[in-house]
Structure 1
C-alpha cells in the first residue's frame, strides 16, 4: 500500500515537472452578451430622444420667429409688396435697393446709428467696467449699489423713455436744475426738439439705462479671476493700476469681447427710444435704420421697401460683427 502511494506521488510530481515549462494559456476575453449591448443601445437612443425632445420647443420658436421672417424678408425685398393693396404683389428686381441707396433719409439714419454706436459702445463699456471694479470689493454696501445700478435695466425701456421725456422738457427737471446751478442765467433748452441736442439727449439716456447690465457682466468676469494672481502681484510690489493692467485686463479678454459685440449690436438696433421720444425728428436728426424700416413697413405700408432696408441692415451688422470677431480673435 505504501509503495503504491509513493509511486502515484512520484508520477504526479513528474507530470507537474514536465509541464512546468509549458506556456500558460491565457483565458479568452469574455464577449459582451448580446442582451447587454442591446440594453446600452436602447439607453443611448432614449437619451438622444430626450435631448431632441428638449431641443424641439426652442427650435420651433427660432424657426417661427427668426427663420421664417428672415426668409420672408429676403423674398419680399425684391417685390413691390404692400400691407394693404388691391394690386397683386409682383417681382421688381433690385428697384427697392436702387431707391434705398438713393434715399437721403436712409443715409441720415445710417449716419445717426454710426454716431450713436461710436459714442455709446466705449462710454457704456467703460462706465460698466468702472462700476464693476468699484463694487467688486466685498463691503457691506456692495449689494445695495448693485441693485441700484441694475434697476434701470429691469425697468421697461418705454417707461424709461417717458420718464426722460419729462426730464428733457422746457420746464423739466434738467432745465430747472441747470437754472438753479447757474443762479437763473441758464436759458431753457428743448432738448428733444432741437436737432443739435436731440441725439445727444438720446445717447445720455441710453447709456444711463443699460450701463447696469454691462456692469454685472463685467462683475461676473472679475469674480472668475483667481485671488492668487493679485496676491502674487502684491508680493512683487505692483500698484493698483499695475494690477489692473497686468492681471485684471488680460483675464477679462473673453468678457471684453462679448460685451463689445453685444453693445455694438444693441446700439445699431436703436429703435424704442426713438419711437417713444422723438419719432425720428426733428428733421430726421434721430432717425435710425430700424425706425425707418418700421415706418416704411407699417406707416407707409411698403413692406417690400421695408424688407430691403432690413436686409441691407442685416448685411451691415454681419460685416461689423465679423470685423470685430476678426480683431478680437485669439492670436
Structure 2
C-alpha cells in the first residue's frame, strides 16, 4: 500500500510539538509503516506548498511549514548506500502525459529539482553558494501559481464565451442574471460542464506533450473514460464552478484559497493513477475531497488522519 499525505496533514502532525516530539513521532510512523509494508510517498505538490512558505513573513506559518517539510521528506526518503531514494507522487500534468501517451511531459525535470531542493532545505544534501536557495524557493511558488493559472484561464475563457468576450467573475450575481445562473447551475448538475472541464484537461495534456489530435469519436471516448477514471477530480472542479455560478467575486484573485482546490485535484490524480495496480490511499482532513471519492464509488481511497494512525496501529 502507498499512502499520500496532503499538506495540512503534515502541518497537523507537527503542530504544537517540540523538535524532539516530532522526531519521536517520525520514528514511530516510519517503524509502523515498515512493519505493515506501507510506503509513504513524496507528494510533490504538498512539498512545493511547504517550500513556498519556507521564508514566510509570518513566523508561525514559517515554522510550521519548515517542520512539516522536514517530516514530509524524512517519512518518504529511504537512505541506503549513501544514496537517497523517494517514492515520488507526481503532479497532474506528469500523470496525464503518462495516462494518455505513456510518457512524462517536459516539466518532470523541474519537479525533480524541487525534490532536490527539499532535500537540501532539510539538511540531507549540502547547500552551496551557487544554489541560490531563495531564488529556487521563489521559483517553486511561481510554479504553484502557474498550476492554478492554467485552470483559472479555462474558466475565464468560459465566462468570456457567455459574456460577449468580457471577463466578469461576478457575471452571475444579482437578480438580473437569475435565469443565466439557473441554466449554468443546471448544466453543472447534469455533468455537462464537467465534460467540458475533462476536455480542457485532455487538451492541455496534448499541448504539453506536443501531440496532435482530432475531436472525433475516438477522442470523445477517451474523454468519457477519463471522466470515469478520475471522477473525484471532476467533482472537486464542480466546487469551483459552483462558486463561480453563485457569483463569488473574490475567486477572481488567484491568491484566494479556494484556488488551492486545483492543487488538491493534483493529489487526487496521484491517488487514482497507479498503473502497477497498487493500493494508493490519500490522507486528508478535507471532507469535500473524501466525499468526492465516495460519490464516485472510490470508498476508502481517501481517509482522515485518525484513520491513518489507526491503520499504522498508533
TM range (shorter): under 0.3
Is the radius of gyration larger for structure 1 or structure 2? 1
Structure 1 or 2: larger helix share? 1
TM-score by length of 1: 0.25
Greater relative contact order (CA < 8 Å, ≥ 6 in sequence): 1
Structure 1 or 2: larger strand share? 2
